[in-house]
Amino acid sequence: MRDHIAAILALTPAAIGKYDTDVTDTPTFPYWVLVSPTLAQRSEVMSGSKTVDDYFQVYAYGLSADQARWCQEKMRAVLDDATPAVTGYVTEVKFSASGITAVDRDVPEPHPVYSVDTYRYRANPI
């Protein structure tokens, strides 16, 4: 599963930081966080090859609402209809839904702002 997450993270534009689930104590803004379950796998063929079909979320962070939304737009541009390179799989990412934009008051000042999008990820064995 690690290969699939790494392939999605690799799509990040150079001007944006990236994190898998957890963020360092002093991130550089803007950045995004991939939040995902283990990405559900199931075997539908006798060979035991597993298809991946699940959802993940993108939390786009900025020091202002404008910066968070800019980061969200950049991530949408690279993720929607993307085909991350994972050896042995044909992959596809599709935008599914947008969520809220909010201030994260659980983090010390300056409080970052985040915007949330949900994507569907599918990977079929070759």
Q: How many CB atoms lie within 10 A of CB 62?
A: 22
Domain ranges of the chain: 2-125
Q: How many CB atoms lie within 10 A of CB 34?
A: 19
Which pTM does this prediction carry? 0.90
Among 104, 84, 106, 102, residue whose Cα is nearest residue 93: 84
Structure confidence at residue 77 (pLDDT): 97
CATH fold of 2-125: STM4215-like (3.30.2000)
Who contacts 11 (Cβ-Cβ below 8 Å, separation ≥6)?
Answer: 78, 79, 82, 84
SS3 content of the chain, % helix, strand, coil (to 5): 20, 40, 40
Q: What is the rounded distance in angstroms from the CA atom of residue 106 to the CA atom of residue 122?
A: 33
pLDDT tens per residue across span 2-57:
899 999 999 999 999 999 999 998 899 999 999 987 776 666 655 566 889 999 99
